[in-house]
Amino acid sequence: MPVDARILNEKTVAPLAAARSFVENLRKPTHILVAISGGSDSTGLLLALQEATAEAGRGRVQLSAVTVDHGLRVESADEARKVSLLCAELGIPHAVRRWDGVKPASGISEASRLARYRLIAEVARDIGADLVVTGHTLGDQRETVAMRAARSGGDDNLGLSGMADAVLYDGRHWIVRPFLSCERQAIRDFVLSRSRGWLDDPSNENARYERVRVRHSLSGSPVQLDVEAAAKRQALSEKTAVFLRQHVEVFHAALARLSGDELMPDLPEFRHGLAALIANLGGRAYFPAASSMERVLLFLKTGETGRMTVGRVLLDRRRDGLYLFREHRNLPELDLEDGAQGLWDDRFFVKNGTAFPVSIAAGMAGEASDAAAFFPSVPVGVAKQAMAILPQITAPAAGQASLEGAVTIGPRLAPFDLFLPRFDLELANAVAGLFGRGAYPQPPV
């Protein structure tokens, strides 16, 4: 069984101490779902949490476990069975979920990650778990930062903050990483000290994967983490949240406005807030690239009226301020059977509560009076364009029952609704308020 021989960093935390601290900081009696692959990190996490919860006393914490069999190797089913045996020995309820279906020919790492979290969340929902924990380590953090630094070395690269200690998945499941300050060697030593072993996944040594290549490159000289990066990112997100609440209006989750005296392109929170608006209005999961934001800021610094498009969003600079809304190109049509739900243009969730099929398509600009009534205090030209990028509900035939109240449409916040790092929770809640959404749930620890 190979062991990582890296010398422990004096700033790291011992695995059992990390588990104890995590359990002590839980805000209420909690049902924890441990994601365990059978590798050293997740096995160590399960063992450490079992000891820490036993010390905390019966009734304070309940443990369950889940293993995802990705079905990518012939050995994976047997490995999941061995994890089940371990959990049975420990008296911990355990579920196995398999990723079935055709696997993509490319992007397998990302597809596996998305499938894994989806299946884990299904188990968390089924058993009523309050949160999920994973065994990500300090080594994983170093690799993540190194990969993100290689993609963009600028000071404004928020990825240099690394993985958050907690991430909200699908708007409802908090995924927490108690071992993010623990070295892998210390975890393995802990597992061995409890007379346990672990399973080695050969894909962890497959140089096809970027993370494996980065891991090998760091083996002799680990990247030095900026311990302040996470705090800086959270501070920026909180300042940006204040800026958005004070200076931005959003109409019908489709049109944003900043008045002329609120355009402050030299402020970091203005830049970050504008990027957040563009991503949400455009239905994009990621904020615009740094190069795109540089173009936007140069455009705004001229003080001239005009237009430009970034990330499917049209920025219309007028004398009275800046207006942002989805550009008109490539607006889709969505067909929903009775009782079905779907996503329109990556910007709106739609649920068909009728007894017949409906179609969702882009609206029509309509009459100036209609646009002015729907978007009061907005220039008529802008209002008509905003009307044309709203979803419109149509029935398949005239004379059907009224659609009012039977088809529901609500805004999707694409950068936050699937994975929301704790760093950005306040920013996400500010955007949610502007778009007419409720706040995201607070983390339980």
Q: Is 370 annotated as a binding residue?
A: no
Closest by CA to 32, choosing from 123, 130, 122, 116, is: 130
40 is in an annotated binding site: yes
Please check if 292 is assigned to a binding site. Answer: no
Choose among 444, 388, 6: nearest CA to 216.
Answer: 6
CA distances in angstroms from 23 to 16, 17, 84, listed in the order given? 11, 10, 24
Q: What secondary structure letter does DSSP report for 166?
A: E
CB 7, CB 220: distance < 8 Å: no
Number of residues that make up the chain? 445
How far is it, in rounded angstroms, from Cα 374 to Cα 384? 9
39 assigned ligand-binding residue: yes
Helix (H) / strand (E) containing 173 = strand 173-176
- In the block, which residue shows the tokens 């030593």? 189
227: left (phi over 0), alpha (psi -120 to 50) or beta: alpha
Question: What are the backbone dihedrals phi and psi of residue 159, each rounded to the nearest 5 degrees, phi first?
Answer: -65, -20
Taking Cα atoms as reference points, which of 182, 152, 171 lies closest to residue 439? 171
Provide CB contacts within 8 A for 304, sequence distance 6+: 317
Q: Is 162 annotated as a binding residue?
A: no
Query: What residues form the annotated binding site?
Result: 37-42
Query: What residues form the annotated binding site for ATP?
Result: 37-42
